[in-house]
Amino acid sequence: MDFSYPKTEKLKSKKIIDLLFSKGKSVSKYPLRLVYVKHDFEEDIPIKMGVSVSKKYFKNAVDRNYFKRVLRESYRLNKQILAENVEAKYCFMFFYQTKEKLSYQEINQKTIQLFEKFIKINQEEKKEN
């Protein structure tokens, strides 16, 4: 299993990020939120992921950067959950939405629960179509 988070998987495109905010769907597991949209990009990778921590909750850049690192690490270690259960290509934006400073273990556990919740919703949508 590949536990890397290469540059090709990082969501950088302003167009796709705007698309996420305008047409994206969302799934939450407090304090995390995952906004997603199906998108067919050129690269042969199933997922592009971006992370965000609000300046509203953490005024100091040091704190925001810490939680962004934790979110990226949590994604990197658990991305196989998404990759094994998703057929279409998706773009994700991963948010940390609380003032509370949770530990890495708590964030990692919530990430797993959030990914499983997304897979469940994704499978239900697939059955409807």
Residue 32 lies in a domain: yes
Q: How many CA atoms lie within 13 A of 26 on its CB side?
A: 13
Is residue 85 assigned to a domain?
A: yes
pTM score, whole prediction: 0.92
pLDDT over 70 percentage in the chain: 98
Asked if residue 82 belongs to a domain, the reply is: yes
* CATH code of 79's domain: 3.30.230.10
Q: Is there a domain that residue 91 lies in?
A: yes
Chain segment 52-100, per-residue pLDDT in tens: 999 999 999 999 999 999 999 999 999 999 989 888 899 999 999 999 9
Instruction: Classify residue 1: in a domain, yes or no.
Output: no
pLDDT of residue 129 exceeding 80, the answer is no
27 located within any domain: yes
Share of the chain above pLDDT 90, in %: 78
Domain range spanning residue 76? 9-120
* 18 in a structural domain: yes
User: What is the DSSP pairing of strand 47-53 with strand 32-38?
Assistant: unpaired
Of residues 3 and 18, more confidently modeled: 18
Nearest to 81 by CA among 105, 51, 52, 112: 112
What is the tally of structural domains in the chain? 1
